Amino acid sequence: MNLDFSILNWALIQGFILQGLWFSLALTVVATIGGILFGTLLALMRLSGSKWLDAPAAFYVNVMRSIPLVMVILWFFLLVPFIIGRPVGAEYSAVITFIAFEAAYFSEIMRAGIQSIPRGQVFAGQALGMSYGQNMKLVVLPQAFRNMLPVLLTQTIILFQDTSLVYAIGAYDLLKGFETAGKNYGRPIEMYLVATVVYFAICYSLSWIVKRIHQRIAIIR
């Protein structure tokens, strides 16, 4: 088997790879922000002490965490157009699916972060006359976010890796860009090998950054 990487040039990268890289990064950022916001809401519902809030939030989290992501992507992409009567674009479908799916994981991370805050601080906020919402906003959540930052970033790296699953619905992500380039130039094996190196380089770099952030947080404490 003769491998030929001479096809790698700026024209190929600009024509096939950058578009997919941009979508993968944009999907990661949007899904992370949306997932953290939705996940925090779910975590607060589960910690509210009200069964009317805890039960549906727990059911949602448990269901999402028990279904493979690729199945959720396919279900949303295929069933939602059937329900609403019009097609949903692959990119839009991927964004909504990732936010809904990742929120279940971010919820558990945030719940653990909130529970790691000493109860004494919560009681102190209540003694000052703070409401539940004020206590969470001003006392608990800022500390929980700092405590959980390395874990949140690690989950974001996993999310970036999972973006390759949108190939199942035809969205043009980074892996799709390499696949398309390989088909057009007749070198699919080389493109998949390069894709592996690129994914490894990005994820390893992000993991190194997370490690440094974790060390800085540990020093601050």
Q: Say whether pLDDT at 78 is over 80.
A: yes
Q: In this predicted structure, what is the pLDDT of residue 221?
A: 54
Q: What is the pLDDT of residues 83-140, one digit of tens each?
A: 777 878 888 899 999 999 999 999 999 998 888 888 888 788 888 888 877 888 888 8
Number of domains the chain is built from:
1
Q: In this predicted structure, what is the pLDDT of residue 66?
A: 94
Q: Sort 57 into a burial class: Cβ within 10 Å, 0-12 / 13-18 / 19+.
A: buried
Q: What is the mean pLDDT of the chain?
A: 89
Place of tokens 């448990």: 62
| Residue 92 forms part of a structural domain | yes
Q: In this predicted structure, what is the pLDDT of residue 130?
A: 84
pLDDT band with cut points at 50, 70 and 90 for residue 219: low
| Residue 5 forms part of a structural domain | no
Q: Say whether pLDDT at 209 is over 60.
A: yes
Determine contact, residues 140/122, Cβ cutoff 8 Å.
Answer: yes
State the Cα angle at 211 between 206 and 217, rounded to 5°: 125
Sequence-ordered list of residues with C-beta below 8 angstroms from that of 14, at least 6 positions apart, any chain: none
CATH number, position 201: 1.10.3720.10
DSSP assignment string, 194-205: HHHHHHHHHHHH
pLDDT band with cut points at 50, 70 and 90 for residue 21: very high
| Residue 88 forms part of a structural domain | yes
| Residue 130 forms part of a structural domain | yes
| Residue 64 forms part of a structural domain | yes
Place of tokens 């059937």: 82
Q: What is the pLDDT of residues 63-74, one digit of tens each?
A: 999 999 999 999
CA 205 centroid distance within chain: 17
Percent of the chain with pLDDT over 90: 50
| pTM tops 0.85 | yes
| Residue 2 forms part of a structural domain | no
Q: What is the pLDDT of residues 129-168, one digit of tens each?
A: 888 778 888 888 888 888 888 889 999 999 999 999 998 8
Q: In this predicted structure, what is the pLDDT of residue 218?
A: 63
Q: In this predicted structure, what is the pLDDT of residue 160?
A: 95
| Residue 4 forms part of a structural domain | no
Q: Say whether pLDDT at 220 is over 60.
A: no
| Residue 86 forms part of a structural domain | yes
Q: Domain range holding 88?
A: 10-220
